[in-house]
Structures are given as structure tokens and as C-alpha cells.
Amino acid sequence: MKIDKQKLIELLVNKTGMQTKEVEKQLDQLIVRILDATNNGKALEIKDFGLFYFNESGELKFDPADELSAEISFKYAGMKPIEIQPDRDTSIATDEEDDIFSVTDESGDKVTDESMPEPDELIFKEEKKKKPLMIELFDDDEAEAEDEDFDFLSDLPEEPKPKKAEEKEKLAAAKIRMQRTPERRQSNTGIWVIVAILLISIIAAGLYIWMSGTSETTPEGQQAVVTPQAQPGTQQLTDITDDITQPEETIATNESETEIDTEPVPETTVQPQPVPEQQSIPPDQPMYGLMGVLNPQAVNSYSIVLHSFTEEPTAINTANQLGMEGYRAQVTTRTVANNTMWRVSVGQFESLADAQAAANRLPTPYNTQNFIHRIQNN
Amino acid sequence: MDSEFIIAFKEVLREELTKKNSVYIEGLGQFEVIHREQYHKRYDTGKVLLMPPTDLLQFKANIKNPHEN
């Protein structure tokens, strides 16, 4: 709806209790004052509302105050960018491999002298130092540096082989070989890292199977009992991975478990809350999906947020309505700047791509007015 | 100018804009709320972020700086 000047004056009259003429006069004075200030090259700020000024091209501009912007976009308050992980795993790893292996490829020849590691080792260390800085810039997912290292090292033993045949034909390689020694050492490290990663993966897979098997045979409420038992295993995993690397997905799983077990949930953590009127899960219902009954065993799932409320009863009522329409609806809380918000979301999806595809299939206006967030159940 | 009027002006505009109504003030311009969908942001490093949606306040002036000529 469009509020014109006449309607605005009516609203102001109702708000202030002043006479219409008085309000008109005050509004005109305000406009004149804004224009006077800006014409003189100054900016006029209305506290908690915004700043009026003329820009370089002579247009009147208005920058809303942070408070006003926050109120207008309150529905999306506290939302942070989500990294899309599959793209990261494939594209970035290969780019960086090319850069780094432009040095390491040459080490494919049999180099026996390992006493002169200095030059390339320094280069390698510098590469490793740069990575954490990159992550600080993005200020996002902690796991990516380790992921990059993992990609780099896991491919290391395979790379020298094709280069071997080419290098044999070159006689001038003798001097260069002396400088390639560090990569040989790194390849040993790489083997150890791969072994460690394999062990971690096996342990993680075993834990996952064990936990899912246990939770299937016990009622929902007993999941909290299962989690502490898993802690020694996960703690061991994080100890091992302090110095070495592992795939991002494994780290994400471990983080969610250890975070919940070892320390209080931070304010910004999503806390799933079951919708009160929940039905039993049909035996033929898949683990993930948009429709059906909410499955508490679908941990670390993605969900499509359709509403954000400041009051819990409203959120629960809305979730119940969506549940009656057949959606897997749930309510989660999020605390932003001491304000608690209740988000109503539908669906449980294994991947972000699945969630996005399902979001596009939602009826209007949900298909455009939604966002996806990740839910980590304990 | 009355400070009570300024407070009421801010409150009325805030109420109407949070209801997604646009406010047109003759001699000044139009305030309106636009919705920006979530989008993909791709960095040079190859990293791709899904940026959240947001509602933005936009102001379109209907006057020009008289000194601009």
C-alpha cells in the first residue's frame, strides 16, 4: 500500500493529537529543514531514523539508521552466509593443487639426498601459513583450511608418477633434484596423514552406525543418553586432527557432537524444538524429505525457513498448521542480540541442494520468501 | 519544530515501512521497502557462499539539488 502525504498527515494527526493544519505546518518545516541543510552541503540526521544528504551527482539521498534497517529486515535478523561445500571441495582443491604441484611434480624422480631441505620447505611453510589468513577474511567455516590441506596431501603420492618418464629424458635435472628433497619428506607425511584420515573415517563411520542403530531401538528421548557415550570417541578424533587434516564433512559432524557435549550451547546455535502435536513416523517414510512427519533421527539436516516470530505460541501454531498440511514442520529458536526468535521451517534434507530444490517447489509465496538453514540435533 | 512531531514522524514511518507500505512525501521523495532474494556470492578463491535474503529500505528523491546547475 502506498501512503501519500495526505494519508501521512492523517496518521500523524492520530499519533500526536495535533490539529491537521499544525501537522501540515510541522511536516513542511521538516521538509524545508532537510532541504536547507542539504542545499548548504550539510547532511541532516534524524536520530534513530537516518541521514539525508545530496550526493555528488546532486541527488537527494537517504541512508537509514542501523536501528531502522534492523527493524525493517527483522525477519532475517541473525542470518549468516552459508558456504556451499560441494563446489569448494572440487574446484578450489584442484586450483591450489596446480599451484603447489608446479613445484612438487618435479620431485617425482628418485632423489636420495635428503640433507638439503631448506628452499622448498620454506615455500611450503609459507603456503600453509597463508591459508588460515584466508579463512579469517571470510570468517565462516573453520573446517576449510584442514580440507585444503587434505586435498593437497592426499594426491601427493600420485602426482610424481606421470612426470617420471618425462624427467628421465632431461639430463640437466641433476641440480634441480637437490632442491626437490623436501617434497619427498612431505610425501611421507602425506602417507601418515592418509592413514590417519582413513582411521578417523572408519571410527566415525562406526560411531555413526552404532549411534543410529542404538537410537532406532530406543525411544526418542534417549538420544541424550547416547551422546555422552560417544564423546570419548569424538574427543579422540579431535585430538588426532589437531595436527593433521580430515574431510570437511567429518569435522562438521564432530563439531556438532563435541560442542553440545562439552560446553553450553552458544546463543546463536539453533535449538530444534519439536512441534507439540507430533505424530508417530510411518515405517515407510524416508529419513529426509519435505512432507511427512518430523523425523528426530535426521540429524544435521537442512530445513526451509518460512516464518520467523518473536512469540513462541504463534510459531508453534503456524508449525502445527503446516504440519496439518502434510509438511515436516518444526520450530527452532535463535537468539540474536538478546532477542529470541522462533523460526518455523519445513522439511528435512540431507543436502543444501535438496533443500533448495524443494524450496522452489513450495507454493507461492513460500517459493520465493524463504531461506534455508542447517539444523543440528543432538 | 516540535520534538513531539519528530518522534511521531519517525514512529509513523517506521510502522508503515515495517508493514512494507511505501510512504510518499511530496517535495521530498518516496520511502519503500524492497526484498532482496538470497543469492550466491563467489569469491576469486572459488569459495561460494549462499547469502541470506534481506529487506532493504530504499529512498527515491523527487527533487534535485538546486545548486547543481
Q: Which residues of A touch B3 (CB under 8 A)?
A: none
C-alpha cell at A119: 628452499
Q: What is the mean pLDDT of chain A?
A: 67
Disruptive mutation site among B5, B21, B55 for chain A (greatest number of A CBs within 10 Å): B5
Name the pLDDT band for A104 (thresholds 50, 70, 90): very low
pLDDT at B30: 92
Q: Which residues of B touch A371 (CB under 8 A)?
A: 38, 52-53
With an 8 Å Cβ cutoff, are B40 and A83 in contact? no
With an 8 Å Cβ cutoff, are A73 and B54 in contact? yes
pLDDT at A377: 59
Ordered DSSP codes for A22-61: HHHHHHHHHHHHHHHHHHTT--EEETTTEEEEE-TTSBEE
- Tens of pLDDT, residue by residue over A63-102, are 999 888 888 888 888 888 888 865 445 554 444 444 444 3
Q: How many other C-beta atoms are found inside a 10 Å radius of the C-beta of residue A288?
A: 19
Q: Which fold has domain A271-375?
A: Alpha-Beta Plaits (3.30.70)
Query: Chain A: nearest CA to B42, how far in angstroms?
Result: 10
Size of interface A-B (CB pairs under 8 A): 160
3-state secondary structure A309-351: ECCHHHHHHHHHHHHHCCECEEEEEEEECCEEEEEEEEEEECC
What are the residues whose beta carbons fall under 8 Å from the beta carbon of A215, sequence distance 6 or more? A222, A223, A226, A297
With an 8 Å Cβ cutoff, are B49 and A35 in contact? no
* Whether the predicted model's global pTM rises above the 0.90 cut: no
What are the residues whose beta carbons fall under 8 Å from the beta carbon of A49, sequence distance 6 or more? A64, A65, A68, B10, B13, B14
Do the beta carbons of residue A30 and residue B9 sit within 8 Å?
A: yes
Least confident of A181-185, A194-198, B5-9: A181-185
- Tens of pLDDT, residue by residue over A107-120, are 444 433 344 444 44
Secondary structure element (H or E) that encloses residue A196, with its range? helix A181-217
Q: Report the domain count for chain B.
A: 1
pLDDT at A114: 41
A262, amino acid identity? T
- Tens of pLDDT, residue by residue over A339-366, are 888 889 999 988 888 888 888 888 888 8
Judge: domain A5-72, CATH 3.30.930.10. no
A103 part of contact set with chain B, CB < 8 Å: no
A134 part of contact set with chain B, CB < 8 Å: yes
A83 to chain B: closest CA residue: B49
Query: Chain A: nearest CA to B3, how far in angstroms?
Result: 10
Least confident of A61-75, A209-223, B27-41: A209-223
Name the pLDDT band for A196 (thresholds 50, 70, 90): very high
Picking from A16, A82, A368, the nearest residue to B5 by CB comes out as A16
Q: Which tops the pLDDT comparison, A15 or A162?
A: A15
Query: Chain B: nearest CA to A59, how far in angstroms?
Result: 5
Q: Which tops the pLDDT comparison, A308 or A126?
A: A308
Name the pLDDT band for A170 (thresholds 50, 70, 90): low
At residue B53, does pLDDT exceed 70? yes
- Tens of pLDDT, residue by residue over A258-289, are 333 333 444 444 555 655 555 678 888 888 88
Residues A204-224 have a mean pLDDT of 65
Q: Which candidate, A32, A26, A41, A78, places its Cα nearest to that of A310?
A: A78
| H-state helical runs in A155-180 | 160-168, 174-179
Query: Chain A: nearest CA to B60, how far in angstroms?
Result: 8
At residue A251, does pLDDT exceed 80? no
pLDDT at A57: 80
At residue A44, does pLDDT exceed 50? yes
Q: Which candidate, B69, B25, B61, places its Cα nearest to that of A2?
A: B25
What are the residues whose beta carbons fall under 8 Å from the beta carbon of A86, sequence distance 6 or more? A351, A353
Disruptive mutation site among A24, A40, A60, A63 for chain B (greatest number of B CBs within 10 Å): A60
A370, amino acid identity? N
C-alpha cell at A308: 520467523
B49 to chain A: closest CA residue: A83
With an 8 Å Cβ cutoff, are B26 and A5 in contact? yes
Name the pLDDT band for B66 (thresholds 50, 70, 90): low
Do the beta carbons of residue A328 and residue A282 sit within 8 Å?
A: no
Percent of chain A at pLDDT > 70 equals: 55
Q: Which tops the pLDDT comparison, A280 or A61?
A: A61
Percent of chain A at pLDDT > 90 equals: 9
Q: Which candidate, A256, A205, A286, A250, places its Cα nearest to that of A374?
A: A256
Do the beta carbons of residue A52 and residue A41 sit within 8 Å?
A: no
Q: For residue B53, what is the domain's CATH number?
A: 4.10.520.10
Q: Where are the domains of chain A?
A: 5-72, 85-261, 271-375
C-alpha cell at A212: 543410529
A114, amino acid identity? E
With an 8 Å Cβ cutoff, are A3 and B41 in contact? no
CA distance A350 to A151: 23
Q: Which residues of B touch A84 (CB under 8 A)?
A: 40, 48-50
Ordered DSSP codes for A90-142: IIIHHHHHHHHHHHHGGGGS-----S--HHHHHHHHHHHHHHHHHHHHHT--T
Least confident of A149-163, A278-292, A337-351, B21-35: A149-163
With an 8 Å Cβ cutoff, are B56 and A69 in contact? yes
With an 8 Å Cβ cutoff, are B17 and A87 in contact? no
